[in-house]
Amino acid sequence: MAKQKILVVDDEEDILELLRFNFSREGYQVPCATSGELALSLVRSESPDLIVLDLMLPGIDGLEVTRRLKNDPNTRNIPIVMLTAKGDEADIVTGLELGADDYITKPFSPRILVARVRAVLRRKAKETIEETAAFRIHDLEIDPGRHVILLNGKPVQLTFTEFGILNYMARRPGWVFTRLQIVDAVRGEDHPVTDRSVDVQIVGLRRKLGPAGKYIETVRGVGYRFKE
């Protein structure tokens, strides 16, 4: 079986070498780029399975690289894990809204980064499952086809929007979603919304789920995730 390929993009040579060593040791192929321009070129020639992308790059920065890749039908499905300077919450939110799959802040543990990358690759593999298929997570059963939620075998009455939010997040446990991502997924990109309206939906959803509401976690400064 061919090795999976991870493109690492960072303008700091020591970080490139650190990541190349750790990913190679785990059995991945690891092409590297030191600029956004080179990264875009390597994506076309190398067809990576995942990209680890620093946001602070000379020339084309990481956010613009993400924007271009996600706007291209040929590359939009390549997972992106962002490397960010600690505290760059605005960049994290922007990156996630552009379509990045996860983020990790500098300084970072190589072992944690490798684990996060492995988790993203697993999640992407699972996305081949039919989105309308019923599934179970924790003590919840979710059936999108029948629009039914069961908590410990008992039905929970949710609004259309609450059901959509729960189904969207629960199918991707551990993923962090911004408020805009949640709204786009549930209502479509043209539906006007504010951060506050998403927060209100989450509050109502947690209340109706009772003890299971704890599975919806707030990620301060970013958005929400459903607990793995």
Residue-wise pLDDT tens digits, 146-166 = 888 999 999 999 887 888 899
Confidence class for position 197, pLDDT limits 50, 70, 90: confident
Distance CA 126, CA 49 (A): 14
Residues 140, 155 contacting (CB under 8 angstroms)? no
Residue range 78-93: mean pLDDT, rounded: 84
What average pLDDT is seen over the chain? 87
Least confident of 5-14, 61-70, 84-93: 84-93
Question: What's residue 134's pLDDT?
Answer: 85
What CATH architecture applies to the domain 135-226? Orthogonal Bundle (1.10)
- pTM across the whole model: 0.65
Q: Which long-range contacts (CB under 8 A, 24 or more apart) does 12-19 make?
A: 12/54, 15/54, 15/83, 18/110, 19/52, 19/110, 19/113
**For 6-126, which CATH superfamily applies?**
Response regulator (3.40.50.2300)
Residues 62, 36 contacting (CB under 8 angstroms)? yes
Whether the predicted pLDDT of 198 surpasses 60: yes
Annotated domain spans of the chain = 6-126, 135-226
15-68 pLDDT, tens digit each: 999 999 999 999 999 999 999 999 999 999 999 999 999 999 988 999 999 999
Residues 96, 180 contacting (CB under 8 angstroms)? no
Say which residue the tokens 């190589």 belong to.
110
Distance CA 224, CA 22 (A): 30
| Within this chain, domains 6-126 and 135-226 share the same CATH topology | no
